[in-house]
């Protein structure tokens, strides 16, 4: 029997009309035309911000390509010259701080790697700053005792109040640290043996350098499509953006790990403060306002573990998004009032407020449909205006992908051409986390409190006993994804084919992240059940 396509088409049309009527009733209850006017203003503002942040990617690419060869060659020559003129006996005392919280899976790997760093033992102090509330503390205590018995200068500092979280732990450790230089590594990092030998010389050669930041590498890039996409995003930040800021004489930030601070730069900035979730960015900006220089070293790579679970990744992004906006609210007024150049001020604004792109994406996704259907000024616009407007939006929309392409091409990692094929996953992921990150941005703007949520790591033991909360936000992500599908059909029906692909990408992104959130949550429960069963 042949299918009745006409009947199915009528049914679909009726369904779309019912949804449209429902939306219209909802808008009417909110004030009809007034609501549409407000939506249009927000939509335009969001679009302008998306274009602005998109085109800033092109500026980062320009600064990176302009300075890359010159700076990297200069750095290599300076390191060689330093070791021609200095011996290891002349190296300064360094304290390496390892802030840890419930990291039983990977704390031993971290301590082993740091103890293996090639630096004079009598000039290398190691502090394990363990605030753990689970079995990690006992694991850490045993490992520290083991390495101390082998002759390493390593101590354990354990807090029970967790005041100011990571910032508080670093501050407490710094108070008793012997070194004038403080290297910091998070629990999921595995520094190479020559890390200090490749970073400390820059601080010795230039007394105005307050921070030397290394580049993040990846331990589990090829574990899954998710980790591959995450690695490309991180490469974009470190290969291009951090290079551009450092080499272009803009303000840059410490990334919380894989870097070395000068104690005096921290003191002059007012010390570690725990009133934001991005204490690293906060301290970096305050230090640069105190006229300390930040240096990014492209060729010093420190491998780290990427979150293999979408819910862990979203928690990490939530922390970074909220912390960045908190930092912007806190320090950006001081930057704008300072005597820094206009270029630095614009760069600082775009840098600290970067996560605003997520509410902008969410607003454009949600408001596109009602504006198309009911907003007469939009419905009456000629096609050429859509082409010009969305031409600019298109150039801005592809800017991050161009940046990621340049980053992969110039990263020095083999196989970059194959990784480029995973860009669609990264694009969908970047859109899909907009719901979660919008919540983070709004929480920062309205001063809502939230605790420091750690990002669980598998580490060397691949344990999975860290319980996750039910992903309620994934329900909203799925709803927005379905809504965007309807919006896509509406735009196609109105023959507005220019914006259709954007709405389609939104639909794919929200649905992908929502589905993965539930899948990984269920997988985590199953793994926990298996683990408990094996222990019995």
Catalytic residues: 131, 280
Closest CA to 255 of 192, 194, 300, 311: 300
Token representation of residue 388: 């010009």
Give the Cα separation of 188 and 108 in Å (integer). Answer: 10
What is the rounded CA–CA span in Å between residue 355 and residue 10?
Answer: 42
3 state DSSP class of 153 = coil
Select from 360, 344, 371, 514 the least CA-distant residue to 432. Answer: 514
- Cα–Cα distance measured from residue 496 to residue 502, given in angstroms and rounded to the nearest whole number: 11
How far is the C-alpha of 9 from the C-alpha of 4, rounded, in Å? Answer: 9
Q: Are 420 and 405 in contact (CB under 8 A)?
A: yes
Buried b / exposed e along 61-96 (16+ C-beta atoms within 10 A): bebbeebbeebeeebeeebeeeeeeeeeeebebbbb
Whose structure tokens read 């084919």?
A: 497
Length of the chain equals 536
Q: Where are any strands of DSSP class E within 167-267? A: 181-184, 209-218, 259-262
For residue 415, what are its two tokens? 């196989």
Pairing between β-strand 209-218 and β-strand 259-262 as defined by DSSP bridges: antiparallel
The residues with which 129 forms a beta bridge, in sequence order, are 99, 157
Using CA atoms, how far apart are residues 277 and 261, in angstroms rounded to an integer?
19
Q: Residue 493: CB partners within 8 Å, gap ≥ 6?
A: 16
- Which runs of E-coded beta strand occur in 264-314? 293-304
Rounded Cα distance, 101 and 257, in Å: 14
């Amino acid at each position: 029997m042949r299918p009745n396509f006409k009947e199915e088409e009528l049914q679909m049309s009726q369904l779309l009309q019912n949804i449209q009527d429902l939306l219209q009733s909802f808008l009417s209850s909110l004030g009809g035309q007034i609501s549409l006017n407000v939506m249009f203003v927000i939509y335009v503002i969001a679009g302008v911000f998306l274009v602005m942040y998109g085109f800033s990617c092109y500026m980062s690419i320009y600064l990176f390509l302009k300075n890359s060869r010159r700076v990297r060659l200069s750095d290599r020559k300076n390191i060689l010259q330093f070791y021609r003129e200095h011996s290891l006996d002349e190296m300064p005392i360094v304290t390496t701080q390892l802030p840890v919280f419930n990291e039983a899976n990977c704390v031993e790997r971290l301590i082993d790697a740091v103890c293996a760093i090639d630096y004079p033992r009598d000039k290398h102090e190691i502090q394990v700053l363990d605030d753990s509330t689970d079995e990690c503390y006992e694991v850490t205590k045993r490992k520290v005792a083991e390495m101390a018995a082998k002759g390493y200068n390593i101590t354990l500092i354990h807090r029970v109040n967790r005041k100011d979280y990571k910032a508080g732990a670093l501050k407490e450790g710094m108070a008793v640290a012997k070194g004038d230089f403080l290297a910091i590594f998070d629990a999921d990092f595995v520094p190479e043996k020559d890390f200090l030998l490749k970073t400390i010389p820059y601080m010795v050669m230039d007394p105005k350098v307050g921070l030397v930041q290394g580049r993040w590498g990846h331990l589990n890039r090829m574990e899954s499509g998710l980790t591959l996409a995450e690695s490309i995003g991180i490469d974009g930040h470190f290969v291009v953006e951090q290079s551009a800021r450092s080499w272009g004489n803009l303000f840059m930030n410490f990334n919380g790990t894989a870097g070395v601070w000068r104690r005096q730069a921290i003191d002059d900035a007012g010390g570690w403060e725990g009133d934001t979730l991005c204490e690293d960015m906060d301290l970096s900006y305050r230090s640069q306002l105190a006229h300390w220089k930040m240096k990014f070293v492209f060729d010093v790579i420190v491998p780290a573990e990427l979150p293999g679970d979408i819910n862990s990744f979203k928690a990490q992004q939530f922390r970074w998004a909220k912390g960045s906006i908190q930092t912007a609210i806190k320090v950006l007024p001081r930057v704008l009032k300072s005597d820094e150049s206009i270029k630095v001020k614009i760069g600082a604004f775009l840098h600290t407020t970067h996560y605003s792109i997520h509410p902008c994406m969410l607003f454009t996704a949600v408001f596109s449909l009602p504006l198309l259907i009911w907003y007469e000024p939009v419905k009456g616009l000629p096609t050429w205006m859509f082409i010009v407007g969305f031409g600019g939006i298109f150039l801005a929309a592809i800017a991050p992908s161009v940046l990621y392409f340049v980053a992969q091409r110039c990263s020095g990692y083999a196989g970059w051409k194959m990784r480029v094929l995973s860009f669609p996953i990264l694009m969908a992921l970047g859109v899909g986390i907009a719901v979660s990150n919008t919540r983070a941005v709004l929480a920062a703007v309205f001063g809502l409190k939230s605790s420091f949520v750690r990002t669980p790591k598998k580490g060397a033991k691949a344990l999975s006993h860290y319980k996750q909360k039910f992903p309620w936000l994934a329900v909203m992500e799925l709803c927005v994804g379905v809504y965007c599908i309807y919006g896509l059909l509406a735009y196609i029906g109105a023959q507005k084919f220019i914006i259709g692909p954007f709405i389609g990408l939104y639909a794919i992104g929200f649905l992908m992240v929502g589905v993965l959130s539930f899948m990984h949550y269920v997988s985590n429960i199953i793994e926990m059940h298996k683990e408990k069963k094996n222990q019995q």
